[in-house]
Chain A
């Protein structure tokens, strides 16, 4: 099962994430991962992706510390040993 860690910036909108720092998900690729996360935390997909399913511009997903290649289709593959980090860009001001 892939292990998923989230930026704490999401805790404000999904307080349950603060209770579970690492979430385990069985998914073949990043798109499936996000679908499953959305089922578990309703509305989460809309924070990470636009309505077309593309990763939002200032959201980053890393698989094994490498940024995903496909930000539109999210087809980057996962396996049992994958570690996924869902982060946001360090923008603000």
Chain B
């Protein structure tokens, strides 16, 4: 199988684009689902299977897999919420007393492989908040009930942020222990299991959410994306709605490390180095109220000291009249390679950890998902 970082997948509003590495650059190798929004796409490194979640405007969320890098596709049954399940109203609902809506699959937000020791296991994070598990390579999916029935969700403490309803956008399987999984839910926060999903613990301690009447609830925070340093799994980062946070103790506590006098604060995406937990990259936007590039100039920001200091990376990126924003799944890293895609269809890549950037294209559709494989 190709080395991770030799393939780039772009899931966009108008289809899936697959690129192969060609020296220091990229070559288009395939286009799939042209005209169809792709919510998330990834290649399972364990099996080489390519997965794509589609967000048909009319026909609902669909799931497909390819065993030949996108030449042919097989639609598999998408996760289904069990009959009778409902989306709980919350304090943030338009009408908390309205009848609860039936829970049905609205969006496939992320797809994640299980551990290397369980090659047939996969996970899907969805709106309205269900985590689905497959034990057979994706032929069938089952709702993880312990998370769905978490007391906080049943009490109406989950709500929509980024989507109409709560959704799971981050699924992290500890590479050293496949029973340890963290999920990020907008809005609820981060949850951890250490028993393969049988029970879940809230991991939001230390977060402050200024958009809530009470900023320190146990549940109700909005991590935009949560990532783990694969080589040092005690260390986590999250780009939160209210800044950048890190944890050095398995998520048991979070510390804010947003840049005080610089652009690294609000955003959606975050990437962490594979081995050095102090190195992370974010894609700044002005603020919650104004989601565009800071000062009309596109940059990523990098820290090499755990967030104490940040450096804006601008070489090769447009510095005038630029209003791009990078969605949460649209920044990825593989070795010294970085790449990101924006809401205005621009895609940039770097071969030196972001010191210099090249443009892959300016005319892509809106980018929802950018993953190395």
Contact = CB atoms under 8 A, between A and B. Distances in A.
Interface stretch (A30-38, A50-58, A73-81): A50-58
A91 B57 contact: yes
A81 B75 CA distance: 35
A50 B58 contact: no
Give the one of A48, A52, A89 with max B CB within 10 A.
A52
Interface string A45-87: 0111011101010110000000000000000000000000000
Contacts of B77: 46
Interface residues of A, number: 17
B58 A89 contact: yes
B105 A88 contact: no
B83 interface: yes
Interface in B341-359: none
Given A43-B75, A46-B78, A51 B58 contact: no
Contact of B60 (A9, A46, A89, A91): A46
Contacts of B57: 58, 91-92
Counting chain B residues whose Cβ lies within 8 A of the other chain, the interface size class is: 10 to 19
Q: Which of B59, B75, B78, B83 has the most CB of A within 10 A?
A: B59
Interface in B58-87: 58-60, 62, 75, 77-78, 80-81, 83
Contacts of A13: 59, 75
Given A56-B58, A56-B59, A51 B75 contact: no
A75 B102 CA distance: 19
B59 A47 contact: yes
B190 interface: no
A88 B81 contact: no
Contacts of B56: 47
Contact of A9 (B58, B62, B80): B58
A50 B60 contact: yes
B104 interface: yes
Contacts of B75: 13, 43
Given A47-B56, A52-B102, A58-B57, 6 more contacts: A47-B58, A47-B60, A56-B58, A56-B59, A58-B58, A91-B58
Interface of A: 9, 13, 43, 46-48, 50-52, 54, 56, 58-59, 88-89, 91-92
Interface of B: 56-60, 62, 75, 77-78, 80-81, 83, 102, 104-105
